Structure 1
């Protein structure tokens, strides 16, 4: 007996209110852009430059005491936050101290770090310093540039691949879905002010790959069905194709989300931002394959005079039972 998360045959009309869903996606993208310029991202040390010091102690974290101990060092803007995690032991208390880039220095000096550690040890002898990360202003500027280049080049490569693999209408739909996913991911990070660092860039690139995989599965089935149902309207062909690949979509996205939720709960605060970005990206990536990429293909139209018979390439596993 096999578990079926989706019935063997579905006939859901995904385009009954496609103007509303597409409009909602457009508004969400506009809101994300507004949030980016009005609120901005909570950039990590990777992009701002500065130093992050992680502390650990058997005594409870007293943010006020930490701040008073550090104040005489005159380090400028210092952010101290206590880190909570379900995986920590009862007597494990962790804090994160972020220090702005010091004027005239590429990174905080060893003498300053030693003075800071001594100041904190004076109020908490049990405190330890598991990690110290410093990034200079020149490096942070290069990281911002290379991160933007990586995301743009990934989307451009996808555009080129889909253009060769399918038709230009398909490539426009696929790239619009990718831009939608990346924009909404940046928007949610602006809204929630989750720290945005290099691991989130890695998550964005992973989201691009995951989203395009789901979109290509749907588009490949659309191309098959365009040859199979030569007289059906494009709306009907798209509905049939999405319904036929729904089982595979639910199975793939569902099992991936199960693993990511487990990582989010049990993986610790170090990777939590990355995992959150992945969870959000899979949700919006699955949504965009159906409600962004496909409506754009419907709007642009596609030629129906296919000269070659369908080979079923890439869709032989589309009807896997979930």
Structure 2
């Protein structure tokens, strides 16, 4: 069966609807970030963390009520490691005796607990982390642009970086809407999402380049549809198995890594979508064609042009 007779799934047939949805999601995320902002964790705002070890698994809501009644504000209480270990984070709290006071106030309820450790993060350190994290994300996107531009073609580089920015903005927007705590673990998840989404995009881009050189008929939309059709099972299998692990991590890993897991879950879903629709749609919008991907003949080498041409049997397909 020739390439013309093949009928791959028409992924690009709904690319305009997908583009509208992506634009709305990005605009909504930007608005959420501007209006509500991120709920920055202790790593970025500065403050204190107190780790406590209870004899028996405590009720976290009871601990929160006790701290509120004692006059503490802007704090987070979560399990750390196991159900009997509790981590209390207090923003904008810089007091060497704070850990002792927290321990004393919680013991007053009758619970048996021990102070394991305490740490303080200054506001200056938090500001530096915010700057460094932003620069780190921008640097990662810049490196991706350079690599893909050199590995494939500049249009592919742009079509790879924009979906990554699309994924990161949507994740940040979801965190802004629900006011989930954004800390260094979530930042690490964002960088992991960039790598994961890029891997999917590279697989699709490599198949697109291969098919542009191999298929002698069909327009760009047909070639891209065929390329996505050939890689979709691999993409869905990879995303599905990754999601199973992340969902298990979210429900069984404890509250301390919930935000990390949920950021990755959102990133895998959005990244899979963007590698299929956003990246491929951008290639069509940029007018990618066979001429962009044909290997140029080597100058000054006798017979090079002939060697670089497709074999005769491909021309007859």
**TMscore range, shorter length:** 0.7 to 0.9
Cα distance in 2 for partners of 1:167, 1:310 equals 19
Does 48-57 or 278-287 show the bigger shift? 48-57
**Would you say 1:36 and 2:33 are equivalent positions?**
yes
The structure richer in helix per residue is 2
* Aligned equivalent of 1:137, options 113, 123, 130: 123
Q: Which residue of 1 aligns with 2:43?
A: 46
Q: Following superposition of structure 1 onto structure 2, how do residues 237-316 of structure 1 map, counting pairs within 5 Å?
A: 237-305=223-291, 306-307=294-295
Cα distance in 1 for partners of 2:35, 2:74 equals 23
Does 234-243 or 117-126 show the bigger shift? 117-126
Cα distance in 2 for partners of 1:228, 1:16 equals 23
Q: Which residue of 2 aligns with 1:113?
A: 99
| Structure 2 portions without partners, runs of 5+ | 1-5, 297-307, 311-317
Q: Which residue of 2 aligns with 1:196?
A: 182
SS at match of 1:270: helix
Report if the CA contact (8 A) 1:227-1:310 is conserved. Answer: no
Task: Quote the offset at 1:67 in angstroms.
Answer: 2.6
| C-alpha distance after superposition, 1:86-110 (max 9, x if no partner) | x966xx4x655332324xxxx431x
RMSD: 2.4
Cα distance in 1 for partners of 2:101, 2:253 equals 32
**Would you say 1:15 and 2:28 are equivalent positions?**
no
Cα distance in 2 for partners of 1:310, 1:43 equals 56
User: TM-score scaled to structure 1, two decimals?
Assistant: 0.82
CA 1:60/1:214 → structure 2, altered by over 3 Å: closer, same or farther? closer
Task: Quote the offset at 1:124 in angstroms.
Answer: 2.7
**Would you say 1:159 and 2:159 are equivalent positions?**
no
Cα distance in 2 for partners of 1:208, 1:40 equals 22
Q: Which residue of 1 aligns with 2:68?
A: 67
Cα distance in 1 for partners of 2:259, 2:76 equals 18
Report if the CA contact (8 A) 1:84-1:269 is conserved. Answer: yes
**Max Rg structure:** 2
Cα distance in 2 for partners of 1:267, 1:255 equals 17
| Structure 1 portions without partners, runs of 5+ | 1-8, 312-322
User: TM-score scaled to structure 2, two decimals?
Assistant: 0.84
Cα distance in 2 for partners of 1:146, 1:33 equals 21
| C-alpha distance after superposition, 1:210-246 (max 9, x if no partner) | 1111001000000011111233110000000000001
* Aligned equivalent of 2:91, options 84, 93, 100: 100
**Would you say 1:172 and 2:158 are equivalent positions?**
yes
Task: Quote the offset at 1:152 in angstroms.
Answer: 0.4
CA 1:202/1:250 → structure 2, altered by over 3 Å: closer, same or farther? same
* Number of residue-to-residue matches in the alignment: 288
Does 249-258 or 117-126 show the bigger shift? 117-126
SS at match of 2:8: coil
